[in-house]
A and B are shown apart, each in its own frame.
Chain A
């Protein structure tokens, strides 16, 4: 009925950027009510058959950054004073358009000033044939087998 321009199914990563998570202390956990709301939302994604994966991430205080500069990697333990926004978790969903991913993100029970960034997952088919060949050959080498 509508002039639908349905795209091939696409994968999107929804990156959750909770307000203030850059300052969260090691081992800090969200409260039970927040968790319950999030579980309900995750279940709705699962019931819609669109959820592929999800994970929560411990705060940066428990992490590390490796900065590449001048050819040498430099390791810094978290927290990172220069970081204004950090990732608290992600979902990977499979939907038929970027708009559909946006709609799902809008339905998440996130609180004030939280942000979800949506990024499309790169698939092999997105790349031109020569890149695909190279990627396949390279991957073979990594697996320890002749290309």
Chain B
């Protein structure tokens, strides 16, 4: 039985498209054009491979075909120019150079090209929504429809976003090169932020939703792993991969049979994916081995690793987690981190000190509508026997969350406080 050629071509495309677009983008210096030429090569594959069979080296076939299309494109432009009365010599010589470049261009380090593409997709001149759409499209090979379903937004919105982003890059003449040394760290941080955003969108998807959403976790993990091989000297990349592997290990345990969310400490740890935990710990070790003082990704991964190593919730090393949060607060002090630290403090020393530590957070403007703040306060108050106050906090938390299932969980906790009264 022969391979279904159509599906085989789609599989080849998923493996090769990012590298193809990356190399073409370096050659033609325009991401939009690069994608067009790549798509033309794909079209040619769909036309020819059913007859000729899948070539020995499908990636090379696509590359050669796409390059030919690109060269034809620039030559055609030249001929059109000659028909005009006005004749911009500058334009002509530029196009001659481009065509010559293309013909001479070798397959430079594909890794470098891929890295350039990632950085261009996450260029600071674009919005984060554009970063996400371009990354998933150019590096993930996802269709407009798939991106739309994954983020619960209309397909035309995604299509427009991508078109505008490409135009914006072209208009700004964004060079297709790696960021300079001085900017590398902050540009890399942007890329990591985009990947983690994609991961979280998938991680917080609830059971029963379009399967495209949890697939985002796997897509983000794949992109993170690719990046870890492209810039293995960057500890924060390994830190992020470690964090994602370990978080992803919990996916099978995060929701109950009715789709209700299950909190970390209540999860059935036997369902945690041990392979992913192992991979996460290996990635964490790679981050540590680079020996620099830990960044936020690595610290968050260290905290996740503490949970992963505990066979049961009771065995969790809360003192270590607390120490890690203390370091995290020094590196990246944020109200959310302080809140998470309070949870660890409560587990390590008791609810009273923890409650005190977040008194200041109640006035924090950025947390005003953050449902987890009253949820944590409710939990701590409940543990201190202050049930009436706890109930009020849980009800407040329920009113702040947009997630229906979380709201149910919080209302149930509120009701739980009431029952124990009197």
Contact = CB atoms under 8 A, between A and B. Distances in A.
Interface of A: 1-2, 4, 6, 8-9, 46-50, 52-53, 92, 94-97, 99-100, 102-104, 123-125, 129, 132-133, 136, 139-140, 142-143, 145
A99 B11 contact: yes
Nearest to A47: B229
Interface residues of B, number: 40
Contact of A99 (B7, B221, B222): B7
Nearest to A43: B229
A40 B321 CA distance: 39
B153 interface: no
Contact of A140 (B211, B268, B311): B268
A136 B15 contact: no
B170 interface: no
A140 B10 CA distance: 41
Contact of A8 (B46, B211, B257): B211
Contacts of A100: 11, 14-15
B226 interface: yes
Contacts of B312: 145
Contacts of B154: none
A49 B226 contact: yes
B214 interface: yes
A124 B257 CA distance: 12
Given A8-B214, A50-B222, A97-B11, A136 B275 contact: no
B224 A49 contact: yes
A124 B252 contact: yes
6 contacts: A9-B218, A52-B275, A52-B279, A102-B11, A140-B270, A142-B270
B12 A103 contact: yes
Nearest to A101: B11
Interface in B34-59: 39, 42, 46, 58
B3 interface: yes
A4 B143 contact: yes
Contact of B10 (A2, A49, A142): A2
Contacts of B257: 129, 132-133
Given A6-B142, A47-B230, A95-B11, 19 more contacts: A8-B214, A46-B229, A47-B229, A48-B15, A49-B221, A49-B226, A49-B229, A52-B279, A99-B3, A99-B10, A99-B11, A104-B15, A123-B252, A124-B252, A133-B257, A139-B268, A139-B271, A140-B270, A145-B312
Q: Which of B211, B218, B224, B252 has the most CB atoms of chain A within a 10 A radius of its CB?
A: B218
B215 A103 contact: no
Contact of B218 (A1, A47, A94): A94
Contacts of B275: 52-53, 92
Contacts of A2: 10, 13, 42, 46, 143
A48 B226 contact: yes
B336 interface: no
Nearest to A132: B257
Nearest to B311: A143
Interface string B215-239: 1001101111110011000000000
Given A4-B143, A8-B211, A48-B15, A99 B270 contact: no
Contact of B11 (A9, A103, A124): A103
B366 to A, nearest CB: 34
A16 B275 CA distance: 20
B8 interface: yes
Contacts of B39: 1
Interface string B8-41: 1011111100000000000000000000000100
Nearest to A104: B15
B226 A136 contact: no
Given A96-B14, A133-B257, A145-B312, A124 B271 contact: yes
Contacts of A49: 221-226, 229
A8 B215 contact: yes
B146 interface: yes
A87 B224 CA distance: 31
Contacts of A92: 275
B215 A102 contact: no
A147 B14 CA distance: 43
B4 interface: yes
Contacts of B223: 49
A125 B257 CA distance: 11
Q: Which of A46, A95, A103 has the most CB atoms of chain B within a 10 A radius of its CB?
A: A103
Contacts of A6: 142-143, 146, 215
B2 to A, nearest CB: 11
